[in-house]
Chains A and B, each alone.
Chain A
């Protein structure tokens, strides 16, 4: 059975994910906090990781970057599952190494299970990377002051 490790801080979603993925014949581990994502993933050895973006302490981007940077966890596919869907978020997720990104509100739990299976099967993301947006992300990451509008 495939093992899915889910980083999700929403207390209402946690049991729902646990139930849906268990019924779909996954082994499920749910964590509320991605602070030690690499250590957790190394211990759990999941086949795939589902990552929320907005979480306390460490956000999903930093956790994904940490997972991808480390040889022990770099081969584990990460699927970002978030309510953020703006182009910059999509670009950032893919450029930081996630295999794909989906919007929670757009999918039923059954569709999320199917999407997880697709990623596990190596189905590529349909999103297209935009070099200009990545350039902006890169400059921001180097410390450019963030502008608000």
Chain B
């Protein structure tokens, strides 16, 4: 009788959705985060991001703010109002460098607000990892 090999249950990779209309930026984040073992989906506008979030219930979303169709803050408001999406952790990674915007996003419970061009890719990826490790 053949012995069955013990199976170790692999944890399901954590899911991240990147919502950014700049393809080079979203592709970069996808590549870096996928290499770390995360399951990453990309959306190029807020509407697409909302649909993905409702379907996938990700462990983290990385949102740009200025996007066509639905901007990042409007998407964030819809996430917080949704029965299945209200508690999704959100990182804002945008070029907008505005204290008003930062405060509005903080009121909506974002994990962090990063000004893209003041940060390195490593800073942004490390921040995402830190948030996911806390969960």
Contact = CB atoms under 8 A, between A and B. Distances in A.
A115 to B, nearest CB: 16
17 contacts: A65-B95, A68-B95, A69-B97, A70-B96, A70-B97, A71-B96, A74-B95, A95-B25, A97-B116, A124-B24, A125-B23, A127-B24, A129-B27, A131-B28, A131-B120, A131-B121, A134-B120
Contacts of A134: 120-121
A97 B95 contact: yes
Q: Categorize the interface residue count of chain A.
A: 20 to 34
Given A70-B96, A139-B120, 7 more contacts: A68-B95, A69-B98, A71-B66, A122-B21, A124-B24, A127-B24, A138-B123
B119 interface: yes
B113 to A, nearest CB: 13
Nearest to B115: A69
Contacts, number: 67
Contacts of A125: 23-24
B72 to A, nearest CB: 11
A94 B61 CA distance: 22
B120 A69 contact: no
Interface string A120-135: 0010110111010011
Interface in B78-135: 95-98, 101, 115-123
Interface of A: 65, 68-71, 74-75, 94-97, 99, 122, 124-125, 127-129, 131, 134-135, 138-139, 141
A69 B96 contact: yes
Interface string B17-29: 0000111110110
A94 B121 contact: no
A129 B115 CA distance: 17
Given A71-B96, A96-B117, A131-B28, A124 B23 contact: yes
B68 interface: yes
B48 interface: no
Contact of B120 (A68, A74, A127, A138): A138
B77 interface: no
A99 B123 CA distance: 22
Given A131-B122, A138-B120, A71 B24 contact: no
B74 interface: no
B120 A135 contact: yes
Contact of A135 (B21, B22, B115, B122): B122
Contacts of B121: 129, 131, 134-135
Contacts of B68: 122
Contacts of B116: 95, 97
B122 A71 contact: no
